Structure 1
Amino acid sequence: MQIPKSLTRAAMEGHGLLGVLFGAVVYILCLTGSILVLVDQITIWERPGAPAIAHLSDSEIAAISVRALAKAQAAGVAHDIYMKMPTDELPRMTVAGYDEKGNHREWNVDAAGKLLPHVGTPWLEFMQRLHFNLTLPGAIGRYIVGMFGTILLASIVTGLLAHRRIIKDAFRMRWGGSRRLTNADLHNRVGVWALPFHLIVALTGSLLGLAGLIIIILAMVAYKGDRERATASLFGPQAVVDARAAPPPDIARMLRDIQMRAPGANVTQLAIEHAGTLGQQVRVMVAAPRHLARNEAFLFSADGHLKWRAGLTDGNAGMRIYGMITPLHYGTYGGVALKIIYALLGMGLTLIVATGGNVWLARRREQGRAVPRLERLWVALVWGQPLVIVTVALLTLLGPAPTTLSYWMLTAVCWGAAMVHRSLSTTTTSFRWALGGMIILTLLLHAALRASAHPIVMLMDIGIIIVIVSSMIMGVRSSKADRGTGAMKNIPKRFVRTSPHKNGG
């Protein structure tokens, strides 16, 4: 595949510029996204002792919804009630109640259907805030994340155009030579091998982040500026504002209706909007395992009559595509095995961002335009961000912690440490050892405090510790070998003894 040289140069310049200007945020989004793919497994890991519930019948769901409404009303958070049902991967049920200002309370549901105080997952919730909106308040954070998804997509396209021998070099790796060439090969090869995944994740991430802006544009183009109609086309009609008191909605009738329309469908989520008022309505999500959308949505009036069906599985092309965006981004359409593949591919994308920065900085150094401070700050990003994230996890194990504040303070400490170190190799080594040690310490503490009564979680902790320790030992041996090789490479040729046969005797 031959690309004109002028286009290659322009694409390379654009690719490098995008990477340098926006690489730090893209790296954080790729790193956190790779971890959050395993959200169900992380939930169990963080709180292995939380109440578990394997399966719920429709009658049990209806009964719990009545108790949830009463509990939320007593707590003053009954404007909207959300119920998330247990699944095979996450056998837990949670209920959340919100008031009109957005204040909320949460509860766990045990196997007997009782609502218990919520067992929080502060580290996971922090990670979600960091990935979804960079810990920024309101919709602005999501819009920024969406824009960076678009930037990532542009970087992938320009990188593709910049590689003139993309097919010929698909399996070319130069190990053991120049570090810049090794990084360049990793950057290019991983980028090519997983190109479809990278394009899908970047595109869907951009669409999810910019959904609010897309609805505004949709309203302007298709509905003459009527944002309410545009929103209703995707999410169904909004609940009527009528604050007069009303009895609980007839959930049992709604679930019977769904069984008639989709026999055997399992409820995944249920929301009562404007709960306990005459204007209330109920939104029910059911699993659709034979469809990429994975879910279908139904909207009922309080008396159990169907008001709207989303058509995520059998509607028009637009709704079907809309229904596919979230499963494609999070890898929820193929079980645990696919999630693991998504996590590995996501780490590959994170590696691409890291090596891209390494290559750009190394090229500047070779050209005599080195930027030592930026090199050390890049190391503080690549190795410091995992270190900060693990440290925040450790803090949440020790007790209640201000996760967002801790994250930004620790990030600042990493940047400061990188500026203090004058040697790039010393900075890199320090961060690597600190990361390995912090992971081991966190897992040991987790095993002692939370996993002792849960053998599978305990084995997971021990297994990861073994992998980390083995990697650190291999790293030490590799460093010693590199130092030995490097010492020989630095000896001037006139001091290297050559074979007497080659010198003529």
Structure 2
Amino acid sequence: MSEPKRFRPAMAWLHTWAGLVVGWVLFAVFVTGTASYYKDDISRWMRPELRETVIDPAQSATAAAGFLARLAPDSGGWLVKLPKPDQPLTEVYWWKSFAGPFHHALLDPTTGAPTSARDTQAGEFLYRFHFELALPPLVGRWIVGACAMVLLIALISGIVTHRRIFADFFTFRPDRSRQRAWLDAHNLFGVLALPFHLMITYTGLMTLGPMLMPWGLQAAYHDEAPHFYVEAGLMPKGRMPSGTAAEGLPLGEIVRIAGKDGGELPEALMVSSPGDAAATVSAVFEEPHGLAHLHPQIAYDAVTGAELARNLPAGPATRTATVMYGLHEAHFASHALRVLFFLCGLLGAATVASGLVLWTVARAPKGAAPEGFGLRLVRILNVGTIAGLPAGIAAFFLANRLLPLDLAGRASWEVGLFFGAWVVVALAGALAPRRLAWPLTLGLAAATFVAIVPADLALIGEPRFVPFDIAMLLVGALLIVAARTAARPPSALARRAASRVAEA
């Protein structure tokens, strides 16, 4: 066989095995990442006690500083995310060094005390799971980065493999053989949103670039990485602590000064070396509308309130990098475009899922031949991931409504039930007879999603959450259709295909 004739089969082999090896992780990344396009909406639903209200950001900043000074007086730095009318909480982080650990709290914007709203990680859990997999941050990001690189290889090899990539856009033959139906579905899902798949994979790798490829930064800056971010225009120049204690201005006063200097109130404050005579407060403003994920910043002397520096104008390289961030996170997107991104994300998950199922269908033994261990393992992992993860997400939402509000460690219980439901559904699929595995697990996931709606109506019942409840019903309905389709006997599909051949 000549080299050109061997190239396409080699790409097909690479596409098949690359997709299989990382497919289960990629499915989880696509599903939770797609849900994260509505992270703020999920968080509002999971904290129903909070209502849209007008809040004084300056008062909230001063109250948050009081909380941090009492709780962690020897901190190396603070980050205070100021509340907004539709997100009426002050979010604070504090740390001793940038090596971690990083601590986090949500505060009442008026009093600065920990919020009385229910304890939950809300949409932030799904967002961070998307790139950390609920593992230690660096471990999770390395795993997701490696899987994203393999996905990029799988996408490129899949494009090379397709001779009829445009025809596949219009081809779906569900009445043919099971293998042909799944292949058509995989091709259709993959081609329909192919530009999105390429964009989201490449930009996702770019967001992890400094971690995956740190050598250039290390060679140029050694242990002085902050200088890179200053020179790149990502942050203003800071100061080293003096070692002399001094009382700073109330953070609310810095907010007012920054509002006059920046033309708008900042959305966050970064405090370096709080309580030191050389403490610096950097006011971070909302990114200008557009693709670039680039926040203007002004640094102030925390003691006097004098302006110290602003971040430098971003050069072409920095602007290109921040555009990659902006494209991936879609902060620029209007409501209609966000819906489009969401649907494309669902198609990404469907592409991965259909590819995983296709692998087992194509290798299913003929007749009464026994199923090998490898095929059995892949089938169990497919059922456990594709049906188990949605069930876990539904259990996470349902737990938010059903768990007692005063339960200690309530947020951890929600996360525990997310993984618990996932494991239960995966075990049910592994122990059930082969023909019942998919209908049973998809049915369990569907029932859990549908149960969210009466739980919400009975315990909260507010009109503002109707769109979320409708979305839960739609997901449940989609899973019911999938369960009914999976319950259809394969023999019926085969008879229909045979009759179509006979009629032809």
TM-score by length of 1: 0.83
Give 1:46 deviation, angstroms.
0.7
Give 1:127 deviation, angstroms.
2.1
Superposition pairs for residues 354-373 of structure 1, below 5 Å? 354-365=353-364, 371-373=375-377
Q: Closer, same or farther in 2 for the Cα pair 1:193/1:382, shift >3 Å?
A: same
Mapped to 1, the partners of 2:187 and 2:413 lie a distance apart of 39
Q: Closer, same or farther in 2 for the Cα pair 1:64/1:277, shift >3 Å?
A: farther
Of residues 404, 417, 440 in structure 1, which corresponds to 2:450? 440
Mapped to 1, the partners of 2:469 and 2:365 lie a distance apart of 43
Say which SS state the counterpart of residue 169 (structure 2) adopts: coil
Superposition pairs for residues 64-463 of structure 1, below 5 Å? 64-76=60-72, 79=75, 80-87=77-84, 90-100=86-96, 102=101, 104=103, 106-110=105-109, 113-118=110-115, 119=117, 120-214=119-213, 216-223=214-221, 226-233=224-231, 234-249=234-249, 263=263, 265-302=264-301, 303-310=304-311, 315-365=314-364, 371-397=375-401, 398-399=403-404, 400=410, 401-423=412-434, 425-449=435-459, 451-452=460-461, 454-457=462-465, 459-460=466-467, 462-463=469-470
Mapped to 2, the partners of 1:33 and 1:124 lie a distance apart of 11
Q: Closer, same or farther in 2 for the Cα pair 1:153/1:477, shift >3 Å?
A: closer
Percent identical residues: 21
Say which SS state the counterpart of residue 283 (structure 2) adopts: strand
Mapped to 1, the partners of 2:31 and 2:111 lie a distance apart of 37
Q: Closer, same or farther in 2 for the Cα pair 1:492/1:288, shift >3 Å?
A: closer
Give 1:293 deviation, angstroms.
2.0
Mapped to 2, the partners of 1:19 and 1:473 lie a distance apart of 27
Mapped to 1, the partners of 2:453 and 2:385 lie a distance apart of 23
* Aligned AA (1:172): T
Deviations 1:413-450 (A, max 9, x none): 33332331231x3000001110111112233223322x
Q: Closer, same or farther in 2 for the Cα pair 1:64/1:157, shift >3 Å?
A: same
Contact 2:19 2:355 in 1 (8 A): yes
Q: Closer, same or farther in 2 for the Cα pair 1:307/1:366, shift >3 Å?
A: farther
Deviations 1:96-133 (A, max 9, x none): 142426463524344xx433422333343432342231
Say which SS state the counterpart of residue 173 (structure 2) adopts: coil
Mapped to 2, the partners of 1:325 and 1:77 lie a distance apart of 37
Give 1:224 deviation, angstroms.
5.7
Superposition pairs for residues 6-85 of structure 1, below 5 Å? 6-50=6-50, 52-54=52-54, 60-76=56-72, 79=75, 80-85=77-82
Contact 2:438 2:487 in 1 (8 A): no
Mapped to 1, the partners of 2:236 and 2:165 lie a distance apart of 46
Give 1:42 deviation, angstroms.
0.5
Say which SS state the counterpart of residue 457 (structure 2) adopts: helix
* Aligned AA (1:18): A
* Aligned AA (1:419): A
Mapped to 2, the partners of 1:410 and 1:476 lie a distance apart of 18
Q: CA RMSD in A?
A: 3.4
- What's the counterpart of residue 502 of structure 1? none
Give 1:317 deviation, angstroms.
0.8
- What's the counterpart of residue 474 of structure 2? 467
> More deviation in 34-43 or 231-240?
231-240
Mapped to 1, the partners of 2:417 and 2:472 lie a distance apart of 24
Mapped to 1, the partners of 2:155 and 2:221 lie a distance apart of 34
Mapped to 1, the partners of 2:150 and 2:346 lie a distance apart of 18
Say which SS state the counterpart of residue 289 (structure 2) adopts: coil
Q: Closer, same or farther in 2 for the Cα pair 1:473/1:220, shift >3 Å?
A: closer
Mapped to 2, the partners of 1:227 and 1:161 lie a distance apart of 40
Q: Closer, same or farther in 2 for the Cα pair 1:226/1:65, shift >3 Å?
A: closer
> More deviation in 180-189 or 34-43?
180-189
Mapped to 2, the partners of 1:471 and 1:95 lie a distance apart of 36
Contact 1:38 1:340 in 2 (8 A): no
Say which SS state the counterpart of residue 90 (structure 2) adopts: strand
Say which SS state the counterpart of residue 267 (structure 1) adopts: coil
* Aligned AA (1:193): L
Give 1:383 deviation, angstroms.
0.9
Contact 2:148 2:201 in 1 (8 A): yes
Say which SS state the counterpart of residue 271 (structure 1) adopts: strand
TM-score by length of 2: 0.83
Give 1:28 deviation, angstroms.
0.7
> More deviation in 407-416 or 193-202?
407-416
Contact 1:132 1:142 in 2 (8 A): yes
Q: Structure 1 unaligned runs (5+)?
A: 499-505
Q: Closer, same or farther in 2 for the Cα pair 1:202/1:85, shift >3 Å?
A: same
